[in-house]
Structure 1
Amino acid sequence: MSLKQEWREALINRIGLSLYEQFSNATVAICGLGGLGSHIAIALARAGVGKLILIDFDHVDMTNLHRQCYKVNQIGCNKTEALLENILEVAPYIDIEAINKKITEDNIVSLLKDADIVCEAFDDPSCKAMLVNGVLERLPDCYVVAASGMAGMGSPNLIKTRKLTNRFYLCGDEVSDVKNTMGLVSSRVMLCAAHQAHTILRILAGE
C-alpha cells in the first residue's frame, strides 16, 4: 500500500467513509493567514478537507511567531508560500491554491467563486465587513465563517460560535478588542481558530 493510500485509510478509519468523502470533496477559502487563518488551515488539512484556497498578501516576520503557524527560517517569506509548505508537511496530498493578493470588492467574486465555505480571518474590522458582506451578497451558495473578539486574557469559555443567518456563523467573544487589551495571546487566538475550523467541518458534515 502506498503512503497516500495509508494516509487515506487512516482518515477513513478515524471519521468514516461518508464523512471522509464530504470533507475531501469540499473547497474552503481562508482569507487572512495570521493567528487565526494559519491555525484554521492546518486543522482543516488534518481533517481531510480536499482543497484549501489560501489568500494573503503579507510576509512572515518575527512578531508573527508567538501566535502563528510559521517558523524562524520562514521570516521574510510570503505567508501563502510558507503556510503551503507547512501544511504539506502534515497533509501531503491536499490540493492547495495559494494566492498572494489582497482581497478587494473588485476581486472578491473571482477569488472566491469556487469555495463552498469562506473563512474570514482578517485583523481589520473594515476588511472583515467587506468580506462578509461581499460573500453574503454576491456568492449566494457560499457559507461564511467569521471571527470577532479573541484578544486579551479573558476566560476561554467566553469564546463561542453563533449562527447569525443560514449562511453566516460568527466565532469569538464579540467584545474584546486588541486596542483595548494587552493584545493577542496565542492560546486565546487558537481557541477562536478552533471554533472556526470546527464550525466549517460541522457545516460540511451537514450538522
Structure 2
Amino acid sequence: MELKEEDLLQRNVKGLAKKLKMAKVCILGLGGLGSNVAVLLARAGIGHLKLVDFDVVEASNLNRQQYRISHINMKKIEALKEIIKEINPFVEVDILNIKVSKENIHSIVGDIKIIVEAFDRAETKAMAIEELLSNNKIVVSASGMAGLGSSNEIITRKIKENFYLIGDNYSDYEEYSGIMSTRVMLCASHQANIVLRLILGEEKRGE
C-alpha cells in the first residue's frame, strides 16, 4: 500500500491542510518542550520544521522527552528527525547542531516568523526572547512547569502582540527539584496549539 499524506491526516480538522503545509516553524531547543512540540506539529501536518540543538540524548531525558533508549548518545537533532520521519515523512525537516547565542540567533532563525523557544536555562531563554522580539518574530515560550501541580494551572498568556508564555506562573525547577512528563507535555501541547492557531488565523478570536 502506498502511503499518502492525506491518509495520515484524514482525522484532522478539514480544510486546514494547505495552510499547514505551507507553514514554517523554528524550534530552539529539543528537550522536554521542544521534542514534544515538534512531534505534535508533525502529527498536525506542518510543512516545514527547523530543529535547533547541540546536545545528545541521555538516559535522564527519557522521563519527559520524545526519545527512546535506542537514541541514547545520538545527537538530539538527528534522533528527533528520525522520529518525525516515522510519524509523518511528508514534513520537511531541517536540522542544525549548534549552540544558540546572541551572535548567531538571527542567522539561525532566518526568515521563519514563528519561533518556539524551548531552552532549559533561564539566561538563554531571556536572551532568545529579547533578541527575537526585537526582530519582530512571534515567540512562543514556556516556563513554570515543575512539580506535580494541577494541570488546570497551566495556561497560555499573551504577553505582547508577538509573545506568548505558557506555564503556571509560579513554579520552577529549583523550587520543586524535579520535572515530570505530565506537566512538561501539558506546556508543550499549549505551545503547539498556539502555534497552530497562529498559522491558521484562529488566535485573532482571542487568547
Normalising by structure 1, report the TM-score: 0.94
Per-residue CA distance 1:56-88 (angstroms, 9 max, x = gap): 000001100111100111110000000000111
Structure 1: unaligned runs, 5 residues or longer: none
Of the three residues 93, 109, 120, the one matched with 1:96 is 93
CA contact (8 A) 1:26 1:116 kept: no
Matches within 5 A, 1:104-115: 104-115=101-112
Match in the other structure for 1:206 = 201
Aligned residue number for residue 154 of structure 2: 159
Post-superposition offset of 1:11: 2.3
TM-score using structure 2 length: 0.94
Aligned residue among 21, 26, 37 for 2:23: 26
What root-mean-square deviation, in Å, do the aligned CA atoms of Structure 1 and Structure 2 show? 1.3
The whole-number CA distance in structure 2 between the counterparts of 1:14 and 1:37 is 22
Report the equivalent of 1:78.
Answer: 75
- Sort the Cα spacing of 1:83 and 1:13 in 2 relative to 1 into closer, same or farther, 3 A: closer
CA deviation digits over 1:122-154, x for unaligned, max 9? 11111001111111112x2x2110001000011
**Is 1:183 aligned to 2:178, yes or no?**
yes
Which one of the candidate residues 9, 12, 24 is aligned to 1:11? Answer: 9
Q: 2:205 maps to what in 1?
A: none
Question: Structure 1 residues 114 and 173, CA, compared in 2 at 3 Å: closer, same or farther?
Answer: same
Kindly provide the amino acid, as one letter, of the partner of residue 42 in structure 2.
A
Specify every segment of 5 or more residues in structure 2 that has no aligned partner in the other structure, as ranges.
Answer: 203-207
CA distance in 1, matches of 2:80, 2:30: 8
Residues 8 and 88, structure 2, Cα contact 8 Å, conserved in 1: no
**Alpha-carbon distance in structure 1 between the residues aligned to 2:10 and 2:182:** 30
Aligned-pair identity (%): 46
Structure 2 CA distance for partners of 1:90 and 1:10, relative to 1, 3 Å: closer
Partner of 1:172: 167
**3-state DSSP class of the match of 1:65?**
helix
Match of 1:201, SS state, is helix
Q: Residues 113 and 12 of structure 1: is their aligned pair in 2 closer, same or farther, counting only changes over 3 Å?
A: farther
